[in-house]
Amino acid sequence: MTGSAFLYLSVNKTLMAVPSKSPTLSPTILVIDDDSEIRYSLERVFSSRNYRLLTAASGEEGVEAVRSESPDVIFLDIRMAGMSGLETLQHIKSIDARPMVILMTAYGTTQTAIEAMKFGAFDYLMKPFDMKKVIGLTEGALKASSDLRNVRDYRPVINSDDYQEGIVGHSEAMQSVFKMIGQVASSDVTILITGESGTGKELVSRCIVQHSQRHNKPFVAVNCAALPENLIESELFGHEKGAFTGATSQRPGKFELCDGGTIFLDEIGDMSPQTQTKVLRVIQEGELQRVGGTKTFKTDVRLIAATNRDLESMVKEKTFREDLYYRLNVVRIRLPSLRERKEDIPELVEYCLQKLQKRRQSAVSKVSAEAAAVLNAYDWPGNVRELENVIYRSAVMAQGDAILLKDLPEEIPAASGRASPAPEPKPATENAVAGNDAPVAEPAASPHTESAPESQAFVPPPVVPRTMQDVFDELYARMREESTDSVLDTMEREMILRALRETGGNQVRASGILGITRATLRKRIDQFSLKDKY
C-alpha cells in the first residue's frame, strides 16, 4: 500500500479498500472472486488510480454489495463455490442493469463466451490477466456505465396505434404523402410510387389499399426484380399445363388470383419489354392470357406500381415502354429519402423500439445522447430499412435498457453528428500478471486542453507558427529530409498513433477525432503495426 490514507469498509465481513480521495465522486469497481490472490492482485492494479474499490469473496456477498453500493464496473469470477458467476450475473442484472460486468475465467470455452454475453456481460477476461488489457477494459466499461446512468430518454410521445400501417413521420414531406394517400385511396386510379430503396414503397401501397374500397379484397405484392425473366410472366399471368419444361399442371397467375383486389408491382423498372407489353394490355383491356394458352380471361384489378429507377430516362433510352409509363404515371407519389426528413428519425427510432418490446424481443426503450446525435447526423443511404436494421441490431447488442454509442454498428461513422470528445490523460500502463509484484505506473502524458489549437493536439511544435500553412510546410520539409517512407504514410501513422495515445487506446474516440470509422482505424493499426505501441 502507498502512504496515502485508505478507508476500509466491510460487506458481509469482506475487507474492501477504498481510496479516501473524493470517494463520492470516484467510479466504483467491485471485484467478486473467491480467490484472495486475484482480489489482491486487482486491488494493487487499481490502487494507484482514483477508483473506489470494493471486493467480495462470494457471489452472495457480491449481490449484497451491488444492492448497497451500486458499483459502476464489476469483475466477476465464473467458477466460485456456492453461487456460480453466471448465476451471480443474472441476480446482478435483475437488481440493476447499469453496472458493466466483466467475467473472469481460466476456461475460455466457446460455451463460456456465449453464455457470458447471453446473460448481459460487458466482456470477459482470461486468467492469468494481461493487466494492460484489464485497464483498457475497465475504462471502456466505466464509459459505458456512465453513459447508461446519464442517458436521456429519447422518446417522442407517440402511440404505436397511430402508426398501424407502419408509416411514421411528422415532417412536412411525409405529411404531403399522407394527404396524397387520402386523396387517391377511395378511387381506382393507377398509382406510381417512386423513391429510393428502403423508403417504404410497399408500406404506402398497403396503406392505400387499407383505406380503399377494395380493402377486403385480395392484395398481392410482386417484386419484379426478384423473379427470373423466365418465371415472371408465369407468376403474373399464369400458365397452362405443358407450356414450358416443368409446367406439369395448370396454374393461375397473380392478376387472375387478384381479381377484384389490388396488385402491387414493385421494382417495375426491372421488368422486361415483353412482360411490359402484357402488363399494358391488362391495364388497357382488363384481360389476359396464360402462358401457353389461347383463352382470354377478364380481370378487374387495381394496379399500384413502384420503382427506385428513373423511368423518364429509361423511356428516352428505349428500355421502358413509353405507353406503359404514361399508363402507370396517372398519379405519382414520391417518397422522400430519410436524409430529406431527418426530423422523423426520433419517431422512427421509438417506433422500432416499441415494435421490439411488443414482440418481447428487447427491453431497450432509450437511446443515449451520443448515439442519438450519430443517428440524427448519418445520411442513411439505405433509408428507413437501414435505420430499422441498425436499431434492431443495436438493441440486441445493448447491455441495459438503452442503446449507447458503443452499441451502434461500426459502419456508421463514429464522428457523425458529435463533437470530438475532450482528450484525457493517457492512463498508467500495467503489465503485471495476477499474483506477480505490483505494477509500476508509467508517467501519464500531459493532457491537451479543449482550447488548444488543433495543430497542437496532433503535432506540438517547439514554437507555435502563425498559420496552419506554416505547420504543413515545416512538417513536409522535415519528413522529406528525415524519412525514407511515403510522406502521407508517415503523416497518417503519426496522426493515428497520437490519437490512440491521447484517448488511452479508446478506438471509438480515436476514430471520432480522426474522422474515420472504427473498422478503418483497425485496418490502419494493423497496416502500420501500431498494436501495443499506444
Residues 6+ apart with CB under 8 A from 232: 224, 271, 272, 275
Continuous segment of H or E residues that includes residue 193: strand 191-194
Nearest to 212 by CA among 280, 261, 257: 261
227 has pLDDT over 70: yes
Q: Which of the four CATH numbers 1.10.10.10, 3.90.1310.10, 1.10.8.60, 1.25.40.10 does domain 340-407 have? A: 1.10.8.60
Nearest to 376 by CA among 337, 343, 328, 414: 343
Q: How confident is the model at residue 414, as a pLDDT?
A: 58
CATH number for the domain whose boundaries are 454-527: 1.10.10
CATH topology of domain 172-335: Rossmann fold (3.40.50)
224 has pLDDT over 50: yes
Same fold, 6-149 and 172-335: yes
Read off the pLDDT of each residue in 470-482 and give the average, rounded to a whole number: 66
Q: Are 206 and 318 in contact (CB under 8 A)?
A: no
Give residue limits of the domains in the chain.
6-149, 172-335, 340-407, 454-527
> Which one has a higher pLDDT value, 405 or 50?
405
222 has which bridge partners?
A: 265
pLDDT band at 468 (very low <50, low <70, confident <90, very high): low
Q: How confident is the model at residue 220, as a pLDDT?
A: 92
Q: What is the pTM of this model?
A: 0.57
Read off the pLDDT of each residue in 41-57 and give the average, rounded to a whole number: 84
DSSP annotation of 494 reads H
Q: Does domain 6-149 have CATH number 3.40.50.2300?
A: yes
Q: Which of 98-112, 263-277, 495-509 has the highest mean pLDDT?
A: 263-277
Lowest mean pLDDT among 92-96, 228-232, 236-240, 262-266: 228-232
pLDDT digits (tens, 9 = 90+) for 392-416: 999 988 877 889 988 899 888 753 4
Concatenate the DSSP letters of all residues of 298-339 into one string. Answer: E---EEEEEESS-HHHHHHTTSS-HHHHHHHTTEEEEPPPGG
pLDDT band at 265 (very low <50, low <70, confident <90, very high): very high
Q: How confident is the model at residue 447, as a pLDDT?
A: 38
